[in-house]
Chain A
Amino acid sequence: MAFAAFGHGGGGGATTPAPTKKSKVALFLLLPGLIYLGLFFMTPLISLIITSLEVPDGSGVMGSYAYGFAIENYGKVVTEFWPQISHSFGYALIATIAALLISYPLAYFIGVKARRFPLIQGLMLTLVIAPFFISFLLRTFAWKQIFSNESPAVHFLQQVGILGAHDYLVGTPFMVIFGLTYNFIPFMTLPLYSILERLDIRLLEAGSDLYATPATTFRKITLPLTAPGIISGTLLTFIPIAGDYVNASGDFLGGTKTAMIGNVVESRFLVLNDYPTASALSVLLMGVILLLVGFYAKRSGTEDLL
């Protein structure tokens, strides 16, 4: 990854790629991809931005809007949907951290400790991926069943006093964050596993040989060397979680008080046909994620890893 870039460069100056006659061929080969991106990514994006600036056309017909330049749409969505926006990023942050705390030891075990036992390694990796074989919606719904108000699990929690007699789990932020964490753990575990699997154990031995305690060796050697995996894992979980609308929806683990941006976009777009508001929220979500990710990647000094 980042380190490999230095690998065989030696101490000399930067190697400039030799000028090739193949650049035209490369451009030609890029063409299908560029056309695809233009048609199916740029066009909808521009359409989305245009929609987000539209105004009601005055006809009073639901879902009927005219072109405009209503930049105030953005101000409106921020003030009106501030709780949902803060849910999105707050839940995403907590769920990402929770997924990291669960995944890192798991990935460390599979990638480092189980290295000498390929069978265990393969089995555990399969278990990490296994949930993907069942629909995401079904699995989330199953959790709703498990923690439904009448379920033995909730009764038990009420009896031992963790939950009050009239407290339930479904519809709470805890349940939504639980679902988000659960659903996105594989996206955290796999990149972590892939980098931990290549971690050179001899470097850890060198650390302990140089008087570092196991904790210091982890902090000074393992952690920095696996940082690229942590960064890709957190990005792969944070970004989709911030836009998720299944877990927080009232049909699944959430309730009216846990709605995230995705839930608002869904209801504005599909129920109320309020296209400008839904579009403005979507663009806002994308912009904030881009900013956060850009800042995060820059702070980590690993832009080349993305």
Chain B
Amino acid sequence: MARLAQEFIARGADLELVGIRKEFPGFTAIENLDLHIPAGEFFALLGPSGCGKTTSLRLVAGLDEPTKGKILIGGKDITATKPHERPVNTVFQSYALFPHMSVLENVAFGLKQRKIEDPMAKAVAALELVELGHLAQRRPQQLSGGQQQRVALARALVNRPSLLLLDEPLGALDLKLRRQMQIELKAIQMEVGLTFLHVTHDQEEAMDMADTVAVMNKGRIEQMGSPEKLYDRPHTVFVSKFLGQSNLFVGEVAESNGSSISINVSGNKITVPTDRAEKHTGTIAVGVRPEKANFHESEPSAQTGVNLIGPGEIIDIRFTGVSNQYLIEIPGIGEVTVFAQNVGKSPVTELGAKVWVSWKVEHSFGLSDLPANSATESISVI
């Protein structure tokens, strides 16, 4: 596989979107999008359906025209070019394999259009790269979903595009196959060194595969960064909810020193390091990931560097295998979710138990906006 991949090593190019706006009759799909993807990067656009991510992809592919803005590939403005003139290939969500051609003819199609020498041999090599060499003569309809997906990938890769666009290519696969394909896709990307722009609504998929993730919402990018950074330091309520789960607490800033600020949530003090907060005054939302929080059956002594709230009552326990999800109702604060690993007996604590919740101050994060229903209650999003 490694040797074959050499064949496809291409000059990945960087992609730049400058001030892109896309209006459709009746609604605006993309408000104002600026994006720079360096060459050779695996970049994921993550967002719920209708957030404009597929539209962005179609604009890059040339299948739709932006209302405003410029698209540059490798520094060259391609905004006005037709799709067949762009050094870009797409793996479509529906795969869009040509039903009247064999798998091999499908893969060779792009090469033949560009009059590349020896298209069939190159197509065979591409099929072998995705381990489908033995099915070259079949019709696409005779293959399974996962195999079709790989044909679509080979059909795009074989052209050595500067930029490979992936439009939720794994969406139609079942979970197990999807995980397997994620690993394969990532391996292929690392081997061929192409720039990948991957659109998905699956946060695990984006975090697992991408070097950089941009979280899109309502036609604009909410936050962009490495998966680790996005997860550790979400900047907005949307990102904190969409990427994993979060417990959010809303309160007025009551105390502030050089290194940390504290909010007051119905008499409970919740502290966040200043450099982990987007806003430092007024009413702000502070969050913590459920797996970073612990609960205690007896009240622990107050410690500096630890946030402690409670007592509350365990109102729901959900067994998920490796861990249990505890839902704890704390009077004056609301519901808090805590994940506890099943290292001992399960459940660790019974339903209805009286508990206190604590977490390290450095695990808190402060957001720039407030949850929509921002009464002084915490929100846990599953």
| Chain A residues close to B by CB (< 8 Å) | 3, 6-7, 9-11, 200, 202-203, 205-213, 216, 220-221, 224-225
Contact = CB atoms under 8 A, between A and B. Distances in A.
B139 A221 contact: no
Given A205-B63, A209-B61, A11 B92 contact: no
Given A209-B61, A210-B84, A211-B114, 13 more contacts: A3-B141, A9-B141, A10-B144, A11-B135, A202-B94, A203-B99, A205-B83, A206-B90, A206-B98, A209-B63, A210-B159, A212-B84, A216-B113
What is the interface residue range for chain B against chain A?
Answer: 20 to 34
Contacts of A216: 113
A221 B99 CA distance: 9
A205 B96 contact: yes
A213 to B, nearest CB: 6
Given A202-B94, A203-B98, A221-B98, A208 B82 contact: yes
A209 B138 contact: no
10 contacts: A3-B100, A6-B141, A10-B142, A11-B138, A205-B83, A206-B96, A208-B62, A208-B63, A209-B63, A209-B90
Interface in B324-352: none
Interface in B26-53: none
B92 A206 contact: yes
A221 B84 CA distance: 14
A6 B92 contact: no
Nearest to A216: B113
Given A211-B113, A221-B98, A6 B139 contact: yes
B92 A210 contact: no
Interface in B99-139: 99-100, 109-110, 113-114, 135, 138-139
Nearest to B165: A209
B344 to A, nearest CB: 47
Contacts of B159: 210-211
B84 A203 contact: no
Contact of B89 (A11, A200, A209, A221): A209
A212 B113 contact: yes
A12 to B, nearest CB: 9
Contacts of A9: 141-142
A230 to B, nearest CB: 13
Closest 3 CB pairs of A and B: A210-B110, A206-B96, A211-B113
Contact of A3 (B82, B88, B99, B109): B99
A225 to B, nearest CB: 6
B193 to A, nearest CB: 21
A210 B141 contact: no
Interface of B: 61-63, 82-84, 88-90, 92, 94, 96-100, 109-110, 113-114, 135, 138-139, 141-144, 155, 159
A62 B86 CA distance: 78
- Could you tell me the dominant secondary structure of chain A's interface residues? helix
Contacts of A211: 84, 110, 113-114, 159
Contacts of B141: 3, 6-7, 9
Contacts of A7: 141
A224 B138 contact: no
B10 to A, nearest CB: 15
Contacts of A221: 98, 100
Nearest to B109: A210
Contacts of B135: 11
B84 A11 contact: no
A203 B155 CA distance: 13
B107 to A, nearest CB: 10
B93 to A, nearest CB: 9
B155 A225 contact: no
Nearest to A116: B25
Contact of B92 (A3, A202, A220): A202
A113 to B, nearest CB: 16
Contact of B155 (A200, A205, A210, A212): A210
Nearest to A11: B142
A148 to B, nearest CB: 48
Nearest to B63: A205
A209 B109 CA distance: 11
Contact of B96 (A3, A202, A220): A202
Contacts of B144: 10-11
A211 B83 CA distance: 7
Nearest to B83: A208
A207 B92 CA distance: 12
Nearest to A221: B98
Nearest to B141: A6
Contacts of A207: 98, 109
Nearest to A206: B96
A295 to B, nearest CB: 22
Nearest to A225: B100
A6 B88 contact: no
Contacts of B63: 205, 208-209
A210 B105 CA distance: 12
Nearest to B142: A11
Nearest to B135: A11
A91 B135 CA distance: 47
B109 A212 contact: yes
A171 B84 CA distance: 50
